[in-house]
Structures are given as structure tokens and as C-alpha cells.
Amino acid sequence: MVRKTKAETERTRIGIIDAARRAFHEFGVSRTSLEKIARIAGVTRGAIYWHFKNKTELFHAMREQALNHTSQIKFDMLSEDVQNPLDAIERFLLELIEILKNDPSVRQIFEIMLWRCEYVGEFAPVLYEALRPRRDILSMLKIVYERAANRGFLRPALDPEVMAYDTMFFSTGLLNFTLSADRLLQAQESIRAHIALRRGDRRANDPSGG
């Protein structure tokens, strides 16, 4: 038997993840078997087990693809190079919408995690891990809103921690609605309005426009 090269093995792995994403999105996670994924990927079930020990591990690998696409914009939100921290939050939310608008595979993964996976049975422990990015983003939002308050860009009456939770709730609801109703363009205006309500008077006097 001819041994596959490392590159061929990786292509097979990526092909299996891609097939899983398409199957999960079309049929739902609970109704998707490894046999079905193998047929879509054009490989044997044994090939899947070579790369992934079970469907849960394959689900995590698929989910990591979306996280890899969004991780950079998430950490950019913490950049000290942005004078007005509120601009960094706005940019993060707008860039997330752009990714969902322009990358169908990432959009499908978000839709799978939101609506096509029942977090019960073998997938019950997956929910905690699936919510980890939200917890990370919430922690970052707290830091950035506190920074905005300290620099005078946040309206004085607003509490940074409360605003962090508010933006987390806003963005979660926004994603649910915009993906289900295909309103990604309208989401951009909602994001700008959401941040505008938090801006303090210093923004009007900022020569940089921030």
C-alpha cells in the first residue's frame, strides 16, 4: 500500500472537516452519522477514525475553523494603537459581520452552533466549550470599556462592566436575528447606533474623529 504524504493526509483531514460542516448544516448534528460524512467526503469510515476518535472531536475541529477566522479581529480589539477604545469595539463587531457576509463556510459553522446542534447526550459537555469564545469576548469587552471610561470616551453615566454585558447580549441577539433573517447589511447600521449611544462628549472634541 502506498503511504500518503503529510500534505495528502492533511488534505484528507480538511476534506473530512468540510464534509462534516456541510452534513451538519444540512441534516443537523444529531442526524449526521460518521458514515454519512464519509460518503460526502469520499473516504471510508476508517479514514475518519484515523483523524478523529468520534463525532464530538470532529465537531470541535470544524468549530476551530471558525475560531481561526475570527481570533485575530477579537485580539485586535485590545490593541493600544486605537485611541478611542469604542472604535475598537465597533470595528470588531463590523468585521465579524463582514466575515459572516463574505465567508459562507464560517457562516455555516455559526449557524450549526446556533441552531443545528442539540447540546444533549454526548454533546452535553460540548456546550461549555462552545461558549468559551463568548466568555473570552466578554472579558475583553470589560477591559476595553474600562479603558474607554478612563480615557473619557465613554459617557460618564455608563458603567463599563454593565456596558460589556450589554454589548455581549446585543451582539448575541444580533447574530441570531441577522443570520436567520439574512439581514447582515442592516446589522452594520445597528452596530454603529449601538456604539454611538455609548460615546461621550470627548469624541466631538477629538481632532482624530475618534
What residue segments make up the domains of the chain, in order of their start?
1-53, 56-202
CATH class of 1-53: mainly alpha
pLDDT at residue 52 is higher than 50? yes
Provide the pLDDT for residue 128: 84
Better-predicted residue by pLDDT, 119 or 36 = 36
Contact between residue 48 and residue 13 where contact means Cβ atoms under 8 Å apart: no
Residue-level pLDDT at 3 = 61
178 membership: H or E segment, kind and range: helix 160-181
Give SS3 for 14: helix
* pLDDT > 90 in the chain, percent: 68
Q: Does the pLDDT value for residue 204 go beyond 70? A: no
> What is residue 202's predicted lDDT score, i.e. its pLDDT?
64
CATH architecture of the region 56-202 = Orthogonal Bundle (1.10)
The continuous run of DSSP H or E covering 66 comes out as: helix 55-76
Asked if pLDDT for residue 203 goes beyond 60, the answer is no
Rounded mean pLDDT of 117-141?
88
Q: Is 92 exposed, middle or buried (0-12, 13-18, 19+ CB in 10 A)?
A: buried
Say if residue 157's pLDDT is above 70: yes
Name the percent of the chain lying above pLDDT 70.
94
Q: Given this model, what pLDDT does residue 133 score?
A: 87
Answer whether residue 109 shows pLDDT above 50. yes
Give residue-wise pLDDT tens across range 69-108: 888 898 899 998 899 999 999 999 999 999 988 999 999 9
**pLDDT at position 190 over 80:** yes
Nearest residue to 177 via CA among 187, 169, 168: 187
